[in-house]
Amino acid sequence: MPLLENNLFKTSKKINNCIAIIVCICFSIYSCSPKPYASSNKVYREKLKELTKTINALPQDNTLDSLKENNNWIGTTNFGIRKPNLVIIHHTAQESCEQTLRTFTKDSTQVSAHYLICKDGTLHHLLNDYLRAWHAGIGKWGNNTDVNSTSIGIELDNNGKDSFTEAQLHVLEDLLAVLKKKYNIPTANFIGHLDIAPGRKVDPGILFPWKRFADSGYGLWYGDTTNTVLPVDFNVLMALRIVGYDVSKPQAAIQAFRQHFLQHSNTGELSEEEKKVLYVLMMRFM
């Protein structure tokens, strides 16, 4: 029995040593393995190099044969990088930050944003603010028909049904404060995806606390409408157009206005009280 026990002990020790070695090997492999998004980060850098080439091209390099230009090119000394002037807030309509990150790092999706804020408040800065993200799609705000070229897109991890977490909203407030100061973005230019694409998009949804953010200087809001008297000739579509909405599809514009400023999804024509809200809001945009 002592000999058998000794052999078993030696065998057990060998097994334990083997397991330890395997664990060490696996840990080493994992430690040396590339980060999950190393490949997409590499593509980011490659695309950045191509864009840098475009920016570095001198005006004389882009002369069209059909145009007569002075052969002695003269470069102006007064220029800078174009800055964003709009902030568009979205919800991801997905189930997790990880799912959204996978979506944003696949060429096939053709969609991106500058920032992503997870439910726990983790902030991902995905794209340089001066670069053009593909977050707005086909949309219009005022006379701006290329929103992607003038805006910063912020995605909030949310499936479109749940309330936003306090951690998310707190981080968003801090981020908006930085962006507003850094790029001198007007208060009225903090809007939602639904505002620029009525009928096509509904994010960030009726659960987003627009008034809270407007009270902090990120977006406009209406005040007390108790004593508001509507002008006899008040035109709903004209008012929506002044605010910034595309009214080519009137009912869609009305619904977008309702979802943002009235926080509900009722349908049909605006009630008298709703018109008063729109009127007060319109006067703030003028």
Residue, of 281 and 14, whose pLDDT is higher? 281
Separation in Å, CA 216 to CA 28, 169, 196, 253: 49, 12, 22, 25
Tell me the mean pLDDT in the region 271-276. 98
Confidence of residue 64 (pLDDT cuts 50, 70, 90): low
Residue 88 DSSP SS3: strand
Confidence of residue 34 (pLDDT cuts 50, 70, 90): low
Q: Report the sign of the C-alpha dihedral through residues 16, 17, 19, 23, in that order.
A: positive
Tell me the average pLDDT of the chain: 88
- Domain architecture of the chain: domains with CATH: 81-220 (3.40.80.10), 222-286 (no CATH)
Four-point Cα dihedral 161, 163, 169, 172, nearest 10: 0
For 91-110, the pLDDT digits (tens) are 999 999 999 999 999 999 99
CA–CA dist 118, 131 (Å, integer): 22
Tell me the mean pLDDT in the region 139-164. 97
Count how many residues are written for the chain. 286
Q: Which residues of 26-51 are buried (b: 16+ CB within 10 A; e: fewer)?
A: eeeeeeeeeeeeeebeeebeeeeeee
At 157 the pLDDT is 98
Which of 155, 173, 269, 272 is an active site residue?
Answer: 155
Q: Please, what is the end-to-end C-alpha distance for the chain in angstroms?
A: 97
CA–CA dist 29, 133 (Å, integer): 35
At 4 the pLDDT is 42
At 133 the pLDDT is 97
For 282, other C-beta atoms within 10 Å of its C-beta total 19
pLDDT value at 14 more than 70: no
**Contact residues for 155 (Cβ-Cβ < 8 A; gap 6+):** 90, 91, 92, 100, 113, 115, 116, 117, 135
At 71 the pLDDT is 72
Q: Is 155 a catalytic residue?
A: yes
Percentage helix, strand, coil, to 5, in the chain?
45, 10, 45
Query: Exposed/middle/buried for 167, CB within 10 Å: 0-12, 13-18, 19+?
Result: middle
Query: Exposed/middle/buried for 94, CB within 10 Å: 0-12, 13-18, 19+?
Result: middle
Dig out the tokens for 248 from the structure: 């080519």
Residue, of 207 and 19, whose pLDDT is higher? 207
pTM of the model: 0.85
